[in-house]
Structure 1
Amino acid sequence: MMHGMFRGNGGCGYVKKPDFMMNIGPSGEVFDPKAKLPIKTTLKVKVYMGRGWDSGFHRTCFNTWSSPNFYTRVGITGVRADKLMKKTKKEDNTWEPFWDEEFEFQLTVPELALLRVEVHDYNMPEKDDFSGQTCLPVAELRLGIRSVPLYDRKGERIVSVTLLMRFQFV
């Protein structure tokens, strides 16, 4: 999540707090992330498909006798009211999964929200295998269809591995 927080400023290691966190109200009140806040916006995220996965992922990371069964977890991290995680259906035995699923997230403090995206390989009955991730500041999202790169657990980009996604605010 820290990689995502600093992704908006080029990774320089400093993120300025939003103005509403720095200001004191007329009655001396300060921002309370636990307070009941009104919904400011709704983010629609559509996960279309994965590209380049047959060459980007090391085949030794997955089952050697079958292709992976990928699914994607998409969620918001931020103030308590905004936290939510959803997931796509799993795509069986394919290196180029096609989900075409849309998720909606109602956001009360989009300035502090991060969009988390994780890809896993479904692995019954064992624990699912982690495949890749990315974390993006919601305030920095560009509207429209985007090719989103994936990163490993250390935050290093997995070459040629992307998700095709659409971002829309309503």
Structure 2
Amino acid sequence: VRDEPACVVQQTAKTLCRLYPSGIRQDSSNPDPILPWNFGVQMVALNFQKYDKIMALCHGKFSDNGGCGYVLKPNYLIDASRAKFNPFDHQKNPSDFSENVFGQPKTLIITIISAQFLSRSSSKANDVPDPYVEVSTHGIPCDQQAQRTCVVHNNGLNPIWKETFRFHIDFPQICLVLFTVYDHDVLSKNDRLAYFCLPMKTMQTGFRHMRLRSKDNGLTDSTLFVHVEIEGYEEEDDC
């Protein structure tokens, strides 16, 4: 794959490919599906019994197209011989964007305003959550970024942040945006309370209430209140 990435993209443009987790993953852990998705692999098998970040990305990926289980590839993964797309290190030519080969880069501006009715980390936990929000983008390497808010102590009912983050995204058509709410803990690993994931191309601008999912992918009564802006790219950064 790393020796001839363009050839792999061209192969997936004309044939069905399926990727399986390695047989030595006896703990049912999942490989990162972002890389094979970026190469146009149609079927990436995952261990659904493992409720992890990977399953959150999978749920967000296929929430597009009405959640029917099928999503369309962008044009540069279909017309691969013309685009010569390299998911590892794609050097963009300005003429590529003018010809609408890859679509226009975007700047995603997200303001995390507040959350409502956050659950505790477990039914046995007696402490009130100390929540913070991590916003991460998942796509080709230059589009993978993460930023987080400060911690609000002892407030799971209506924590308020009002923090704004900017993400420069070169390939928004294959970029996923993941919102994850964590419970900060000084003495142990931070617990993942809830999440919301969606493709960037489906994001709507303005003030939005996101209904969060629990760490086992079930719907909750928790919500995240955000403001979304999407602008044209401000800087020409190479991957």
Same fold (TM over 0.5): yes
Deviation at 1:149, TM superposition (A): 1.0
Among 17, 22, 34, the alignment partner of 2:73 is: 17
**2:87 matched residue in structure 1:** 33
Work out the number of aligned pairs and report it: 163
Partners in 2 of 1:50 and 1:109 — Cα distance? Answer: 29
**1:130 matched residue in structure 2:** 192
Which has the larger Rg? 2
Greater fraction helix: 2
Partners in 1 of 2:205 and 2:194 — Cα distance? Answer: 23
Greater fraction strand: 1
Partners in 2 of 1:139 and 1:154 — Cα distance? Answer: 25
Q: 1:41 to 1:127 in 2, by over 3 A?
A: same
Does 1:47 pair with 2:109?
Answer: no
**Alignment check: 8 A CA contact 2:120 2:129 kept:** no
**2:176 matched residue in structure 1:** 114
Q: 1:58 to 1:72 in 2, by over 3 A?
A: closer
Deviation at 1:59, TM superposition (A): 7.3
Deviation at 1:19, TM superposition (A): 1.1
Deviation at 1:130, TM superposition (A): 1.2
Does 1:85 pair with 2:146?
Answer: yes
- The amino acid across from 2:87 in the alignment is P
- The amino acid across from 1:51 in the alignment is Q
**Alignment check: 8 A CA contact 1:69 1:92 kept:** yes
Compare relative contact order (CA 8 Å, sep 6+) and give the higher one, 1 or 2.
Answer: 1
Gaps of 5+ in 2: 1-56, 94-103, 232-239
SS of match in other structure, 1:91: coil
Partners in 2 of 1:43 and 1:24 — Cα distance? Answer: 27
Q: 1:101 to 1:61 in 2, by over 3 A?
A: farther
- The amino acid across from 1:17 in the alignment is K
**Alignment check: 8 A CA contact 1:37 1:108 kept:** no
Q: Deviations over 1:66-121 (max 9, x none)?
A: 42110000010011110011110000111211010010000010000000110010
TM-score, normalised to structure 1, is 0.88
CA RMSD of aligned residues (A): 1.9
TM-score, normalised to structure 2, is 0.64
**Alignment check: 8 A CA contact 2:121 2:191 kept:** no
